[in-house]
């Protein structure tokens, strides 16, 4: 079993039973995690435990060695299946300051801009930086 899948089973036992893991790739799994993240923000109260585990797993994945295939490369999966979509869901975007460091945010500018116009990106960035300035908690990613 691949390391990413073992880690996923460890961190998300409640999600892993929802789909056929033998047939899923890191990209497919990250699509499922992004949907789970959006759903976690639909819960009232927000499912903080799941949100934190998703960002922790993202951090673990981006720190894994790159592979030769985009389909199996964990940093690529996180970038294209999670990070570039974070601005699309207002609740996720508005809460990102609690989970992502300023350095990581700034290094992801091109990913965020993929789905945003220049004015939308500027507003997203300014909102993140404004909230981050007042936040003293640790970042996960």
Q: Kindly report the CA angle at 79 between 45 and 31, in degrees rounded to 5?
A: 55
DSSP symbol at 87: G
Q: Residue 21: its pLDDT value, please?
A: 59
Helices (H), 1-141: 3-11, 13-16, 26-42, 48-62, 74-81, 90-95, 102-107, 109-113, 118-134
Least confident among 22-31, 71-80, 119-128: 22-31
What pTM does this model have?
0.93
Counting Cα atoms < 13 Å in the Cβ hemisphere of 11 gives 21
Q: Residue 124: its pLDDT value, please?
A: 98
Residue 23 has pLDDT above 80, yes or no: no
Q: Residue 19: its pLDDT value, please?
A: 57
In terms of residues, how long is the chain? Answer: 141
Instruction: Return d(Cα 96, Cα 99) in angstroms, integer.
Output: 5
- Dump pLDDT digits (tens) for 36-75: 999 999 999 999 999 999 999 999 999 999 988 888 899 9
Instruction: Return d(Cα 63, Cα 58) in angstroms, integer.
Output: 9
Contact of 16 with 70, CB cutoff 8 Å: no
Least confident among 2-11, 49-58, 107-116: 2-11
Residue with tokens 């639909």: 42
Q: Residue 20: its pLDDT value, please?
A: 60
- Dump pLDDT digits (tens) for 65-108: 998 888 889 999 999 999 999 999 999 999 999 999 999 999 99
């Amino acid at each position: 079993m691949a390391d990413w899948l073992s880690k996923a089973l460890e961190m998300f036992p409640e999600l892993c039973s929802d789909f056929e893991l033998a047939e899923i790739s890191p990209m497919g799994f990250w699509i499922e995690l992004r949907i789970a993240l959006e759903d976690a923000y639909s819960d009232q109260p927000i499912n903080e435990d799941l949100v934190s585990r998703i960002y922790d797993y993202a951090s673990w994945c981006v720190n894994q060695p790159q592979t030769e295939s985009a389909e199996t490369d964990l940093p690529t999966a996180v970038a294209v299946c999670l990070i570039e979509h974070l601005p699309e869901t207002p609740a996720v975007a508005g809460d990102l300051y609690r989970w992502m460091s300023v350095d990581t945010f700034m290094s992801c500018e091109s990913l965020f801009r993929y789905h945003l116009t220049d004015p939308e990106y500027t507003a997203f960035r300014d909102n993140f930086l404004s909230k981050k300035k007042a936040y003293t908690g640790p970042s996960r990613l």
